[in-house]
Amino acid sequence: SGDAPEYPTFDALYSAVMSGVRNYLQWHNAMADNWCRQGPPSPLLSLLVDDCIEKASGYYERGARYYMLAPHAGGMADVANSLLVIRDLVYERHVLGLRDFCDILRGNWTGQEHLRRRIARTFEFYGNDDEAADAMMQRVFNDYAALVAEVPSRNGVLRPAGISTFGRQIEWAPQRMATASGAQAGTFLASNCSPTPGTDLQGPTAVLRSYCKLDFTRTPNGATLELKIHPESV
């Protein structure tokens, strides 16, 4: 939003992106303070959760032994792919400036279809067992997990990191703007911890190789992968 600052280096831009993630997580942590006190009476749930009977307190009355509200990142592949393109076009090869690129994206690639197609045709993105793309995904993944781990719990609510969308990528699509990796506004983007649709071009084994480069000990609440395989291929 607003005028794009001319970050002098890619690392400066990346730090600004992570600063935005940190700010969002701070809001999410504050939201968790009263999360387990806001629900309606839930007798069936309370009967099935440890310690509610012993304490004679319902689930939403802090009767349970554990409470968890996990931050879940969505669209991580889209972020990593876009950062990969920005680093290459803006900071390494100087094909265009950051503000010019922002203007192109705000215009939804109008008049720049040749550039959009060239990006889609020439870049290898997460999910293709490509070293550079997977390294960017690892960087975003690790930094997100590290930010979440700064607050392992808050007011008795556990805060383990996770990655998922589970259908929310459909809900988000109408608000999605164009991405630097070549997607147009309103496009359905990456689900869960899966590649951005249409970018995994080297088959399911390459997707698994990219995915398994991530350190899942850092996401205790999961990082789901979906594989889409045409029936005729098996």
**For the chain, how many residues are written?**
234
Tell me, what's the pLDDT at 230? Answer: 83
Provide the pLDDT for residue 99: 94
Burial class (CB in 10 A: 0-12, 13-18, 19+), 51: middle
pLDDT of residue 195: 97
Residue whose tokens read 């359905």:
188
| Model pTM above 0.75 | yes
Please report the pLDDT score of residue 1 as a whole number.
67
Give the integer Cα–Cα distance in Å for 166 and 45.
23
**Backbone dihedral region of 51: left (phi > 0), alpha (psi from -120 to 50 degrees) or beta?**
left
| pLDDT at residue 10, as a whole number | 98
DSSP-derived secondary structure letter, 223: B
Block means of pLDDT (10 residues each) for the chain, 234 residues, are 86 97 93 77 93 93 90 96 98 96 96 96 97 98 98 90 95 95 96 96 96 98 91 85
